[in-house]
Chain A
């Protein structure tokens, strides 16, 4: 099998056994499975990353990957996943929220009580706004409770963009014209801005998932969307972040991960829950001794 990238006088050769070794490592580390159909796609990205890291061989590259030097695992995964953020990116989780999760959440609540939903990391805001719009479009009880939506990120520049709420056509590609008309106003350059009323309803804050003092301010959340970040943390940070998120959830609260993420690689603190539209995780209602 030929895969080669010339840098300097030496071309790096990647063998099928190298790819198997890599795929096995990725599966163990992230839960992402690459069967034979997807292998070719990996081969090319692998060669790219070998070049990008100036590795002289697959062995050298694999050592970099195993030690996760310079977040190489994230770099490799980014090389073969589509990372755009856009509205309603994982619609099945939004559907799960209104079809199943909220029904359970309100069982313990009286009308008018708070429902707290957190999007962390929220990046440039597509996710928290999507949640808000989805609720208004799809949840018949949206006016019966005090719904708080918080969007947090470690990146303050992203938060500024989120607060501004201006997006291009691509970010809105999953939204219908009607929905866009209801919640956005056209602004310059073919972009659209979230209506001021909605913009002002979302709280955007800076938060670091691994910082316990920052995370200590967040309590009593009913649903947390924490997508596509935990899987890139090292072992210790994953555990800390999971413990922090556990604390931020109320008993019985739900957490949704990215679609190729799994708690099996992150933490045993949460229960696996199946609903028709999604598998989500739950902070247990009560403690147990694990036996």
Chain B
């Protein structure tokens, strides 16, 4: 047989890399946090991963996120924050909704979307933000919420929203999670934007999905 069997589970049996010495269960919070500032990409990557889910690391993770240049380390920091999932980590992620960088916006949405409970208190202000891009992205955050919450938040938005793309985003989420209660707001939206591209179509699809269902 040309195959070699080696005991992979023995520590040090395969090439270890910088950062491996930071064993994940080592409770050296301070050393991991210091490592977040290392010039070595691997060390920062390992540190971010080791700090995943640690509420006491949130301030350091938030700071690191603000300066990290390497895409995969940014992803690891966002994962670490997502795993904490508390109010502080939500607040650390929220500023990235306003990022000029589409990739950063996308990752922060992905992380926040996974925290429907933690993000709920922030939803009303986000959906009323002065920046239409922020309102637009915030509609996505309702997608993983219980149907009643999502419907209530997005209908309130639709009642006053003037920006067609924000309405479009809200309608997309309602088409998936909306309850019957969304129909009036949707119809009003279609009337407000009658004769414009896309929105009347989107509303008709959403209403069909919401209405043609049992109960």
A-side residues, CB < 8 A to B, are: 12-18, 20-21, 24-25, 56-59, 63, 66, 114, 116, 132, 135-136, 142-143, 145-150, 197-198, 200-203, 205, 212-213, 216-220, 234-236, 239-240, 243, 246-247, 267-269, 287-291
Contacts and interface: CB of A to CB of B under 8 A. Distances in A.
B11 A236 contact: no
B103 interface: yes
Nearest to B13: A217
B212 interface: yes
Given A201-B4, A205-B8, A21 B214 contact: no
A243 B53 CA distance: 15
- Most A CB contacts (10 A, CB to CB) among B13, B70, B107, B176 go to B176
B82 A239 contact: yes
A216 B147 contact: no
Interface in B1-55: 1-11, 13-17, 20, 23-25, 41, 49-50, 52
A20 B79 contact: no
A49 to B, nearest CB: 16
Given A18-B214, A114-B4, A290-B103, 13 more contacts: A18-B212, A20-B209, A59-B215, A66-B144, A136-B2, A198-B3, A218-B8, A234-B114, A235-B114, A246-B72, A268-B107, A288-B70, A291-B101
Contacts of B113: 235
A202 B41 CA distance: 34
A70 B15 CA distance: 39
Top 3 closest pairs, chain A to chain B, by CB = A290-B71, A201-B3, A17-B212
B208 A17 contact: yes
Interface residues of B, number: 54
Contact of A268 (B75, B208, B211, B213): B75
Contact of B24 (A198, A216, A288): A216
Classify the interface of chain B: helix, strand, loop or mixed.
Answer: loop
B212 A63 contact: no
Contact of B49 (A200, A201, A243): A243
Given A15-B212, A17-B208, A212-B24, A63 B7 contact: no
Contacts of A147: 2-4
B42 to A, nearest CB: 9
Contacts of A202: 3, 5
A269 B4 contact: no
B3 A15 contact: no
A154 to B, nearest CB: 15
Contacts of A197: 1
A218 to B, nearest CB: 6
B202 interface: no
Interface in B57-93: 69-72, 74-76, 79, 82-83
A57 B214 CA distance: 7
Contacts of B209: 17, 20-21
Interface of B: 1-11, 13-17, 20, 23-25, 41, 49-50, 52, 69-72, 74-76, 79, 82-83, 101, 103, 107, 110, 113-114, 144, 146-147, 175-177, 179, 208-209, 211-215
B72 A287 contact: yes
B1 A21 contact: no
Contacts of B10: 217
A105 B72 CA distance: 23
Contacts of A198: 1, 3
Contact of B6 (A18, A148, A243): A148
B3 A149 contact: yes
Contact of A21 (B16, B75, B176): B176
Contacts of A243: 49, 75-76, 79
Contacts of B82: 235-236, 239
B24 A63 contact: no
B2 A203 contact: no
A14 B75 CA distance: 40
B111 to A, nearest CB: 8
A132 B24 contact: no
Contacts of B25: 213
Given A148-B4, A290-B71, A240 B52 contact: yes
A219 B17 contact: yes
Contacts of A150: 8
Contacts of A212: 24, 49-50, 52
B215 A236 contact: no
